Structure 1
């Protein structure tokens, strides 16, 4: 395509990929984003936790998102497993840890649209609406082959091309995948009662049933259930599905109706043996996939980007270029423990719900009781869930420079 060398090439134009392009272009790196800037509405939303909101503020994107998002001021957990050790409902409020909200819930497609709009208007950011077909690392740069047959070179390539990452496959990074005996029904709902900025998660024997606020008397649904029940629910008409959701929610928000797109997603997980290869870093679902529990998925992807940005900036300060081995080793060290601990925590919680074994139920119930009644533990867990303070990337601490 051209003989010029980009500093950074990002492959994949989802929320994580676009945010990476904005973050590096903002810092003055010659950046190219490879992918189609489009978003399909499928009834899925994302709860942007406090650290992710700070990250989007640093990218100057948050003002365009705020009016489309609803604050999550209270997070309520209700055990609906029928367990002998069922704890009472637990509610966590953001003001306990000095925040107005744990985060903000927004439709995923709206988030991508606003990020794409910012990218299109950003000087110094090149956008190529193509697909990456190949990758080859070199001594001073990597070569990316495009679907058009053209090529480009970059000091560092960021693979943000999703769970089926072509670039990850080319580099030979080992992947572990697993499936759960679950599917997630997603939908946008309208309801007759105010949600009062409260996210409610029912722990059922088949997985969590979660209602998350949207602006107005609207909420998003993630109903994790068995594949058979998921298919049955997906086959219902809108009115019948709304009644089934109201029944499962114990009429907490009154009568409901479907007020947007619906989806059905098989539940699975993915982990990688390493987060980097020569001249390449993995971010987002190219690096990790797990069930939609605890709002960790996309937030973890944004944390990947912010951590990689820190590694690149630190390398520059030490006279190194973005794709240097030292840069990628710093990124590997920064992501390894964080991603693996959160993957294990989400996987462990999900499997205790599915097991039905008395010891697992006892441990889960005892844990919720301890968090509910021990103030310092309760606040520590809330802070860790919203943003880990040890090793948090600078853009997620409000440090914009």
Structure 2
């Protein structure tokens, strides 16, 4: 690790969250002169993230997974249960990772542990410059870009990467428009202890107010909860005492895991979406939530951001091999085509699922129910959907490949 503000870098990554850390580590492992700009702020306890198989392969390549694995639980099966009360109610759908040759679809880990492991690794990498200050602004010129620091000074690089979140100052400074939308919902999150073993099964109940999801944590009898419901109800649930909230969760879960107890802090996450109209600007690439924000449904958000990081690494390494400019319009155009398509596809899928639950219209129920029934009964279709849900078949970044 170094802190060299007077050097000229190939890439300056702005934002020290999970997507920014992963991007900086992916680039620096291949000898790309990289600076990571941003304060290492505290991470809220109690949130978890389901890291899909491709993301775990990336973390292994970055040298982080060994530190994360003891705190992660495998997701060997996914069960979807229709609890909407619809007239057309399909039977539960069961997805098993071994059917597509995997031990697990992914691993669930507390966000704080993931960030801690990425930071530990970043501090141990000799060629990565960590500049723990917030960016005050950025400008792009014909040959390079400059990031101004709030504490004074400047970082110059041929390519800037905005990993600075949903309100990205770099994206705003570049004038990149975004599409934003809100849902009439919020997600209650917490950690649960329960009487029965989860058996490495993630269970998602589809209700009229949104998905209610129990995701395994290590130990067999702990799970994370993401309960999507109306905004007022989410706030009411958050304000219950622990025993009352545990009883409410147990009822909603149909006593699937037996008696419940609250075993961690709780939070309420607004249900919002954001999509940049293009994930690039002059000498600028957007990764993670600067480019796309998902509601906490379907484990798409961070996994998509990690694919951004891995794909950008491939392009920059290739450009160096051919003696090309890593901030060139041609490189950024390739990044925009691939990442823009992936983000739009995932956004549409998550949005369609959530809105179909909220609509209550019989045609929407029929389509959703028929889709679940087809997945449950048509094995080839189920396997294709499982593979695409984990990692796209085409354009898979090298560090995510088997």
Shorter-chain TM-score tier: over 0.9
Q: Normalised by the size of structure 1, how large is the TM-score?
A: 0.98
Aligned equivalents of 2:386, 2:155: Cα separation in 1: 44
Aligned counterparts, 1:137-148, within 5 A: 137-148=140-151
User: Residues 73-84 of structure 1 correspond to what in structure 2 (within 5 A)?
Assistant: 73-84=76-87
Is the partner of 1:9 in helix, strand or coil? strand
1:335 CA displacement: 0.9
Find out whether 1:345 has 2:380 as its counterpart: no
Instruction: Please say if 1:324 is aligned against 2:328.
Output: yes
Question: Following the alignment from structure 2 to structure 1, what is the Cα–Cα distance between the partners of residues 45 and 245?
Answer: 16
Per the alignment, residue 157 of structure 1 pairs with 160
Q: Distance in 1 between matches of 2:21 and 2:213?
A: 28
Are 2:289 and 1:290 aligned?
no
How big is the alpha-carbon RMSD for the aligned residues of Structure 1 and Structure 2? 1.0
Equivalent residue number for residue 13 of structure 2:
10
8 Å Cα contact 2:190-2:225 kept in structure 1: yes
Aligned to 2:399: 395
Unmatched 5+ stretches in structure 2: none
Aligned residue for 1:39, secondary structure, equals: coil
Cα distance in 2 for residues equivalent to 1:3 and 1:283? 25
Residue 221 of structure 1 and its aligned partner are, at CA, apart by: 0.3
Q: CA deviation at 1:62?
A: 0.7
What is the CA–CA distance in structure 2 between the aligned matches of 1:190 and 1:208, rounded to whole Å?
20
Q: Secondary structure at the match of 2:346?
A: helix
**Equivalent residue, structure 2, for 1:39:** 42
Per the alignment, residue 304 of structure 1 pairs with 308
Which residue of the partner structure matches residue 203 of structure 1? 206
Question: Shift in Å at residue 41 of structure 1?
Answer: 2.8
- Describe the shift of the 1:2–1:112 C-alpha distance in structure 2 as closer, same or farther (beyond 3 A): closer
* 1:65-85 CA-partner distances (Å, limit 9, x unpaired): 111000000000000000011
* TM-score scaled by length of structure 2: 0.97
> Retained in 1: the 8 A contact 2:50–2:109?
yes
Secondary structure of the corresponding residue to residue 25 of structure 2:
helix
1:47-93 per-residue CA deviation (whole Å, 9 max, x = no partner) reads 10000011111101111111100000000000000001111111100
Query: 8 Å contact 1:315–1:326 — kept in the other structure?
Result: no
| 1:61 paired to 2:64 | yes
| Matches of 1:43 and 1:4, distance apart in 2 | 39
The number of residues matched between the two structures is: 398
Determine if contact 1:39/1:113 at 8 Å carries over to the other structure.
Answer: no
Q: Distance in 2 between matches of 1:242 and 1:161?
A: 36
Match of 2:371 among 351, 367, 372: 367
Offset at residue 29 of structure 1 (A): 1.1
Does the 8 Å contact 2:5/2:131 carry over to 1? Answer: no
Contact 1:70–1:215 (8 Å) recurs in 2 = yes
Q: Look up the match of 2:192.
A: 189
* Counterparts of 1:265 and 1:323, CA distance in 2: 35
Q: 1:2 deviation in Å?
A: 4.6
